[in-house]
Amino acid sequence: MRIPFNKPHLSGRELEYITEVFENSTAGNGIYTKKCHTFFSEKFKFKKSLLTTSCTDALEMTALLIDIQPGDEVIIPSYTFVSSALAYVRQGAKIVFADSRADQPNIDENKIEALITSKTKAIVVVHYAGVACEMDTIMDIAKRHNIYVIEDAAQAINSYYKGRPLGSIGDCGAYSFHETKNIQCGEGGLLIINNDKFLDRAEILWEKGTNRAAFYRGEVDKYGWVDTGSSFLPSDITAAFLFSQLEMLDEITKVRLSIWDTYYDRLKRFQDSGLIKLPLIPEYSSNNAHMFYLLFKNTEKRQEFIDALKEKECLSVFHYLSLHKSEFYKSKHDGRKLENCDYYADCLVRLPMYFKLYGEELEYLLEQVENILESM
Ligand SMILES: *Cc1c(COP(=O)(O)O)cnc(C)c1O
């Protein structure tokens, strides 16, 4: 039986909603874009959210909003996707990479303060696997040093820190709806604005530097070029696709959680015997089951596992390579060793996780995983 790593979920109503868009207008900021925005303000009480063409785009908007200038420093975990750093690098920032925690891949909140200098403009946190970073500590550091906090919540829809939705705690947050995420529309993203001072400007950057949104609300009698910006907004076709998935958000989360719990229950004995470690969810965080991973003792053991599982036609995959060692950034990195980050880069492997992973498929996969771990 072939088990892929991911099968992008389809709600079944995508085409129906897209057809409705065709009968109106397919341009951005149309009926379904508004429906998505309303969904986020109702479900998560976001002050303002703007659909974007990707999470990368939403992060680029945050770099413009916090006005990153050449020479500014931004603290970012090294164990993350390129996009978390890219937006700020494009504006000329120097990236100061932070290490992960020893017990899970999120940024180590206790190692941030030592990295702050007079040039530090922002801390970008990444809620890896939808698990919350220790936000109280991070927000306190940021407040004392007067720096911004951006949440890369690409994987974190429907997950919470002490009851607060991820993405709603820092100055801005960003979601991804890439087809590998819990909720998807192929390519898509969301910018969440929490800091009042960015509310109006975000809308202008989003609409190519114009005050078009204010014009359509009747707040100004003509619209024109008032600021920098880009075409960050997606077509309403994308929004219609996305809305059909958002309607299923709680159901999707529930199904993924049951897969996650099954993995955990069945594989816990291998953690108890010391062969592997399973994901740790701190008590301050909820779990949206974006990912289920195993941690091996070294990279050879991990490769042995991936290869053995592949022989049974099941795909498991490792994840990020440390950004501070990347071809693009290693010569610009200050040389600090980031041991925990390297450990996750070398030893973490992700198991298949998708909405339709159940019944025979899940059972077959679990049996293969158990057999391989028993033989290791
Ligand atoms: C997926 C992902 C991104 C990029 O999202 P896009 O929508 O593909 O731009 C950024 N950061 C993290 C942590 C991600 O997982």
* pLDDT per residue as tens digits for the range 144-173: 999 999 999 999 999 999 999 999 999 999
126 lines ligand 1 (CB under 6 A): yes
Distances from the Cα of 295 to the Cαs of 154, 243, 335, 340, 345, in angstroms? 22, 35, 26, 12, 10
Q: Residue 216's pLDDT is what?
A: 86
Q: Residue 85's pLDDT is what?
A: 97
Q: How far is the C-alpha of 175 from the C-alpha of 115, rounded, in Å?
A: 26
Total residues belonging to the chain:
376
C-alpha atoms less than 13 angstroms from C-alpha of 35 in its C-beta half-sphere: 18
83 lines ligand 1 (CB under 6 A): yes
Amino acid, single-letter form, for residue 3: I
Ligand 1, atom 8, lies closest to the CA of 178
54 lines ligand 1 (CB under 6 A): yes
Ligand 1, atom 14, lies closest to the CA of 154
189 lines ligand 1 (CB under 6 A): yes
Amino acid, single-letter form, for residue 321: L
pTM of the complete model beyond 0.95:
yes
Q: How is residue 344 written in tokens?
A: 């996750």
Ligand 1, atom 5, lies closest to the CA of 55
Secondary structure (DSSP) of 230-249: -B-PPPHHHHHHHHHHHTTH
296-341, pLDDT tens digit by residue?
Answer: 999 999 999 999 999 999 999 999 999 999 999 999 999 999 999 9
User: The tokens 């200050």 sit on which residue?
Assistant: 334
Q: Is 53 helix (H, G, I), strand (E, B) or coil?
A: coil
Distance 41 CA to ligand 1 centre (A): 22
Identify whether the C-beta of residue 271 lies closer than 8 Å to the C-beta of residue 371: no
152 lines ligand 1 (CB under 6 A): yes
Q: Residue 217's pLDDT is what?
A: 87
343 lines ligand 1 (CB under 6 A): no
154 lines ligand 1 (CB under 6 A): yes
Identify whether the C-beta of residue 31 lies closer than 8 Å to the C-beta of residue 243: no
Question: Residue 283, Cβ neighbours under 10 Å: how many?
Answer: 5
Distances from the Cα of 275 to the Cαs of 115, 297, 319, in angstroms? 34, 7, 20
Distance 184 CA to ligand 1 centre (A): 12
Tell which atom from ligand 1 comes closest to the C-alpha of 83. 10
Q: Residue 268's pLDDT is what?
A: 98
Among residues 101, 137, 129, the alpha carbon closest in space to that of 338 is found at 101
Running DSSP on this structure, what letter comes out for residue 101?
Answer: P
Question: Residue 333, Cβ neighbours under 10 Å: how many?
Answer: 18
Handedness of CA 13, 14, 17, 23 (dihedral sign): negative
Residues of the chain where predicted confidence (pLDDT) is lower than 50: none
Tell which atom from ligand 1 comes closest to the C-alpha of 56. 9
184 lines ligand 1 (CB under 6 A): no
Q: How is residue 323 written in tokens?
A: 């950004």
- Ligand 1, from 61, 100, 107, 176: best to mutate by most atoms within 8 Å of Cβ? 176
Q: How far is the C-alpha of 138 from the C-alpha of 135, rounded, in Å?
A: 5
Please state, rounded to an integer, the average pLDDT across all residues of the chain: 97
Distance 215 CA to ligand 1 centre (A): 32
69-103, pLDDT tens digit by residue?
Answer: 999 999 999 999 999 999 999 999 999 999 999 99
Ligand 1, atom 6, lies closest to the CA of 55
106 lines ligand 1 (CB under 6 A): no
173 lines ligand 1 (CB under 6 A): no
81 lines ligand 1 (CB under 6 A): yes
Q: Is 174 helix (H, G, I), strand (E, B) or coil?
A: strand
Phi, psi of 125 (to 5 degrees): -105, 150
Q: Is 99 helix (H, G, I), strand (E, B) or coil?
A: coil
Identify whether the C-beta of residue 305 lies closer than 8 Å to the C-beta of residue 376: yes
125 lines ligand 1 (CB under 6 A): no
Q: How is residue 31 written in tokens?
A: 């009926």
User: The tokens 């909003």 sit on which residue?
Assistant: 65
Beta bridge partners, 122, equal 74, 148
Identify whether the C-beta of residue 154 lies closer than 8 Å to the C-beta of residue 139: no
